[in-house]
């Protein structure tokens, strides 16, 4: 049975705070990627592989870890994920020395993300009521967004002051704070019992795939995450290249600061987007965000390289549009799920999302190398590939026409 509103709000606050601490180092790698590419003499494709290994490991482990929360307490799985994150960041700071070790340790961090991101959401979904769930999802996404945004500027600052090894190792210490917080402050709770005579097989995903409404939100989330992680993974590198290409390497708002601001504004946009979904309709908000992201993504790729400040404006606008439907998509999948299969539904949702997240950074890196390296045309083609994939996703989403949620306009 869901807990009362006051206790539920306290639980949401604790879990969201823990998420900030555990995820704070998640984007130190893309923040520091330009200097690490020089330090280790990495190609664009190799840098893309290191970035994507995080999402590949997430994609492979999330069906197991999140689905397990339909049988065992989500808190236990969450603490396992925090432990993986702690080890991955500490080991990266102490041991990483090139392409293979970096890729392996970023993969372990991806397993940690799989054990904390959707698992933290499932922990909340099991304990708050249906009307509070949409806003709990939004608050949870906001905590991830805040930590992701701060990652860029904090990682850059720590690396500048203490070296990149200390920057990564410090992320292990903040993960330890998250582990202790959840272990001591979050109550354990068994997952909801299935309906009588309806005990589902644990890893039988067929009923989830037959849920057309939830699956439509998850397919859209796949390409949404592809687009988001392409920008997260390459945003700093793109802005750094534009600064050099346009001859503006003096007193500039640094690329890491720009991406931090983008992350914070994107988080706010995600919260406002979910409220707009409730007020105006979820499908309408999501399709509108898709149309805008296609247009602005193409503009960023083909026009953004003409000047640094133009690139800054376009990349911030593009990022805010990408984030606009982030919470709406995840809330749509969670709210459309059978409660007894919510863990499996979120596992499929997350697996599809981070399959896209795996492809996004690689698609940018491959396109840049295929086009002969970073150039105005190469960047235009790279963002053009992302826009084409989003257009295909939008057509599928419109064709399936998922339902609105309880509390949405028309729901």
Co-location of 363 and 255 in the same domain: yes
Q: Is residue 101 part of a domain?
A: yes
Co-location of 285 and 161 in the same domain: no
User: Residue 145 has what pLDDT?
Assistant: 77
CA distance 303 to 231: 16
Q: In this predicted model, what pLDDT tens digit does every residue of 220-274 receive, in sequence order?
A: 999 999 999 899 889 989 999 998 888 776 556 788 889 888 888 888 888 788 7
Q: Is residue 198 part of a domain?
A: no
CA distance 102 to 93: 10
- The CATH number of whichever domain residue 20 belongs to comes to 1.20.1250.20
Q: Is residue 199 part of a domain?
A: no
| pTM (predicted TM-score) | 0.74
Q: Is residue 194 part of a domain?
A: no
Co-location of 93 and 237 in the same domain: no
Q: DSSP letter for 251, please.
A: S
Q: DSSP letter for 372, please.
A: T
Considering 132, 156, 187, which residue would you say is the last residue of a domain? 187
User: Residue 317 has what pLDDT?
Assistant: 95
Q: Is residue 52 part of a domain?
A: yes
Co-location of 229 and 162 in the same domain: no
CA distance 313 to 304: 9
User: Residue 1 has what pLDDT?
Assistant: 45
Co-location of 316 and 217 in the same domain: yes
Burial class (CB in 10 A: 0-12, 13-18, 19+), 247: exposed
Task: Please identify every stretch of the chain with a pLDDT value under 70, giving residue numbers as ranges.
Answer: 1-8, 127-135, 190-205, 249-252, 340, 343, 405-411
Q: Is residue 192 part of a domain?
A: no
Three-state SS for 369? helix
CA distance 267 to 336: 23
Q: How far is CA 27 from CA 147, 228, 325, in A?
A: 9, 13, 21
Contact 351, 62 (CB under 8 A): yes
Co-location of 49 and 146 in the same domain: yes
User: Residue 249 has what pLDDT?
Assistant: 61
Q: Is residue 196 part of a domain?
A: no
Co-location of 217 and 107 in the same domain: no
Co-location of 403 and 309 in the same domain: yes
Co-location of 118 and 250 in the same domain: no
Co-location of 103 and 232 in the same domain: no
Co-location of 8 and 113 in the same domain: yes
Task: Give the domain range for residue 383.
Answer: 205-410
Q: How many residues does the chain have?
A: 411
DSSP labels, 107-144: HHHHHHHHTTHHHHHHHHHTTS-HHHHHHHHHHHHHHH
What is the chain's alpha carbon radius of gyration, rounded to the nearest angstrom? Answer: 20
Contact 322, 194 (CB under 8 A): no
Co-location of 223 and 350 in the same domain: yes
Considering 134, 160, 187, which residue would you say is the last residue of a domain? 187
Q: Is residue 193 part of a domain?
A: no
Number of domains in the chain: 2
In 3D space, the residue among 26, 24, 114, 106 whose CA is nearest the CA of residue 69 turns out to be: 114
Considering 131, 158, 187, which residue would you say is the last residue of a domain? 187
DSSP labels, 299-353: HHHHHGGG-HHHHHHHHHHHHHHHHHTHHHHHHHHHHHS-GGGHHHHHHHHHHHH
Q: In this predicted model, what pLDDT tens digit does every residue of 67-113 receive, in sequence order?
A: 788 778 888 899 999 999 999 999 999 999 999 999 999 999 999 98
């Amino acid at each position: 049975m869901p807990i009362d509103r006051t206790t539920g709000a306290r639980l949401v606050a604790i879990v969201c705070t823990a998420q900030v601490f555990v995820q704070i180092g998640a984007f130190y790698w893309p923040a520091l990627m330009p200097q690490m590419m020089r330090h280790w003499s990495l190609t664009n494709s190799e840098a893309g592989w290191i970035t994507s290994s995080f999402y590949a490991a997430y994609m492979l482990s999330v069906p197991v870890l999140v689905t397990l929360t339909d049988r065992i307490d989500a808190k236990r799985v969450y603490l396992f994920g925090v432990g993986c994150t702690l080890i991955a960041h500490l080991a990266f700071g102490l041991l990483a020395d090139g392409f293979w070790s970096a890729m392996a340790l970023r993969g372990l961090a991806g397993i940690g993300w799989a054990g904390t991101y959707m698992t933290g959401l499932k922990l909340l979904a099991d304990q708050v009521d249906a009307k509070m769930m949409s806003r709990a999802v939004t608050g949870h996404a906001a905590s991830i967004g805040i930590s992701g945004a701060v990652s860029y500027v904090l990682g850059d600052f720590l690396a500048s002051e203490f070296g990149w090894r200390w920057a990564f190792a410090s992320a292990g210490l903040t993960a330890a704070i998250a582990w202790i917080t959840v272990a001591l402050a979050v109550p354990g709770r068994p997952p909801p019992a299935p309906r009588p005579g309806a005990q589902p097989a644990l890893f039988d995903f067929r009923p989830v795939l037959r849920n057309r409404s939830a699956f439509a939100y998850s397919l859209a989330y796949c390409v949404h995450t592809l687009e988001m992680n392409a920008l997260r993974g390459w945003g700093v590198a793109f802005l750094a290249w534009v600064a050099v290409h346009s001859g503006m390497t003096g007193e500039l708002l640094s690329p890491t600061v720009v991406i931090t601001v983008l992350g914070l504004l994107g988080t706010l946009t995600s919260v406002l987007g979910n409220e707009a979904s409730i007020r105006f309709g979820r499908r309408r908000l999501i399709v509108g965000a898709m149309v805008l992201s296609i247009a602005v993504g193409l503009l960023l790729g083909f026009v953004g390289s003409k000047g640094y400040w133009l690139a800054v404006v376009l990349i911030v606008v593009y990022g805010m549009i990408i984030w606009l439907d982030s919470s709406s998509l995840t809330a749509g999948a969670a709210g459309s799920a059978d409660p007894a299969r919510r863990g499996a539904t979120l596992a499929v949702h997350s697996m599809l999302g981070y399959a896209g997240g795996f492809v996004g950074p690689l698609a940018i890196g491959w396109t840049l190398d295929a086009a002969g390296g970073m150039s105005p045309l190469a960047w235009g083609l790279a963002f053009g590939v992302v826009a084409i994939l989003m257009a295909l996703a939008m057509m599928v989403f419109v064709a399936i026409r998922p339902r609105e949620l309880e509390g949405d306009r028309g729901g």
